[in-house]
Structure 1
Amino acid sequence: MPIRRPHHTSAGAWRFRAGADRGTDDAPDSPADSLGFFGFKSLTDTRRVTVGARGLWRPKAGTALTAGYEEERQSVRGFNQSFSQYGMSSGNSESDWWNRAFHAQLSWVRDALALNVGLRAEDDERFGGAATWRTGAAWRSVDSGTRLRVSAGTGIKEPTFFETYATGFVTGNPDLSPERSTSVEAGVDQELGGGAKLSLTGFRQGYRDLIQYTGSPPAEGGPNFFNVAQARSQGLEAEATVEASRLRLTGTYTHLDTEVQDAGFDEGPGATFVEGSRLLGRPKHTLAATAFYRISSRVGVDVSARRVGEREDRDFAAFPAEPVTLPAYTVLDLSASFDIAGGGGRPGLTLMVRAENLLDSAYEEVWGFAAPGRGLYVGGRVVLGGSGG
């Protein structure tokens, strides 16, 4: 009987992302617009370099341990000008910081049972250390085609550059902590035969240390951003899939219920967070459907439609902001891919064509900002090497 040796693999990665100059130009609405703060300009340049390495160890069949390290360096240069009846004010900022992260995941599979647990430790120059985790389990019955699953975990969202280092009319807070979340979900997948499958998932998420803006800082001249708000979301998602020959149909429905539990600095019905109310921009109902058809071995077509329900938002053109309701909308997209050359492990070329918002629906994801209308996009993908061998 041959001896099975542990299998070791490793991988490394290096990425560089350079952001071109980006900014805003909120010019006066008219020559008569000269009271209060009536104009604002900003310009921001971002540079980011990321390096990392990952290793995989399989001590025996059904067990895998993955561990890795990532390091990211960022630099941001910013300039802004504010125009008001009191004169012009400007600000400059120049910041560099780093982030290191260690991560590991253990997966274990035995017969119908699968378990996994993962950890990630962050060391950030801005907010210090933070740790997140995720674990899950799944069990599948071969006879009935039923799969049960459950998972839980935590996450963080780091403060943005503007929230941390803003200068001028708004002052950032370098002492901000990451926004934190805790989530749990459970679900069941049922194979119905004939290529059909039904999935049902219930979930709940809690958010704390949400970063909030206040126009009246506790201390005169102090920062305008603080970790104060708290909220939760919960819901149910249903998905049905049918596959037959070259056709795959998928339909999903999500019911989402959100609530602000701690409004922080906010007061009044026009505040960004209102205790007991829903989170802004989160629809209670969302429907989506997709159809993919493989015309040939080299050509595939995908049609998708989504219906997004009403969402609460705020009209910040008024002061104080006024509550508004964004109406429901429907968007239809069409895409196609053409494998022009390659295949079988050889270098290849794929042409992709995508038409978005075919119905030219007029809608807003954020109040006052119209979403793009009908658009056509053409792109390609070049594969220089195959996976065979």
Structure 2
Amino acid sequence: MNKTLVKGGLIVGLVLLMASCATAPPMAPFSPQSLDGKVSSGDYVAKPENFVVVFDGSSSMAEPYKGSLNTGNSKFAVAKDLVDRMNKTMPALPIQGGMTAFGLGKAPVTTVYGMTDYTQDGLAESLGRVSSPAGTTPMGLGLTEAGTLLKDASGDIAIIVFGDGEENTTTTAALDAANALKEQFGDRACLYTVFVGNTDKGRKLMSDIAATSACGMATSADELASADAMAAFVEKVFLEKAPAKPVAKPAPLPVPQPKISWILSGVNFDLNKAVVRQDAKDILQNDIKILKENPQIRVEVQGHTCDLGDAAYNRSLSDKRANAIKDYLVSQGVAADRLTARGYGEDRPRFPNDSETNRAKNRRVELVPMN
């Protein structure tokens, strides 16, 4: 690098900085808009896994900024304030961060932060060490250094450049370096530029750098002047909607159970008897088959009597008849825990007890599904 050029840049930067410090008004107050709620709610997650700030600390940044944000301050002071505003607006994110500055009158490029786990305090402390503008503007080397910092990075990348676009060295042209980053990282890297300058030439270069990545964008100090605008910028660079949560599949509807009600009209009993007759056993074979084919069905075995005899006797007799049928079903392979035997005595006649024929029909057992 030309020593005379560097020395001249140092002198010019120092003179401009002293002049701006003597007259610079206080920086505009800034209250960041919090984005923490969007992250803590789970609605948003970190967009990149890594980011690097590339900061212009060259002598041209000592010139007064002519835009509307913090007018009367140097471009250097306005750019530092913008990085500080961005940092204060950023929510806590599990990402890697870094910052490199070019110019500063020392080495052409200086890494001042990272790569490391990002924290607001860590970036703020590192920004504080960027003390004064000086030297030439090797913006291309600043971008190349960002690529070096990120060479081992996995996942997506955001590179944010703050400067005036007044490149005055072609050691590595800024646009060539931006294209090299595109070649190095492909679609994983998004370049964002924040123009803090006064010339159309500088604005165009910053815009062209951002355009090398399809996912990047170019903006300016004045466009980020409000807290809302800075929050929107931080959200675009650092956040994205969380992936949609999988919708829980509704529980399958229960399989409709067959509605079965058997009246074992052929299963009758002799008067005052609870013995299962052979004709009843023959009829029960069909019911046993149905029960075995439908193991989900639970059955109440209901015993009944006619009206002859007193109520207590008939209740006891109906219990015996119900249990006799239950025992027979169990002996034929129907699980006992699916059967509940209960006698109803003479309380539920199916036919009027006005003849011996009807009374014989009422001396019966019915199988009634419970589910």
TM-score, normalised relative to structure 1 = 0.20
Q: Which of structures 1 and 2 has the larger relative contact order (alpha carbons within 8 angstroms, sep 6+)? A: 2
- Pick the structure with more helix per residue: 2
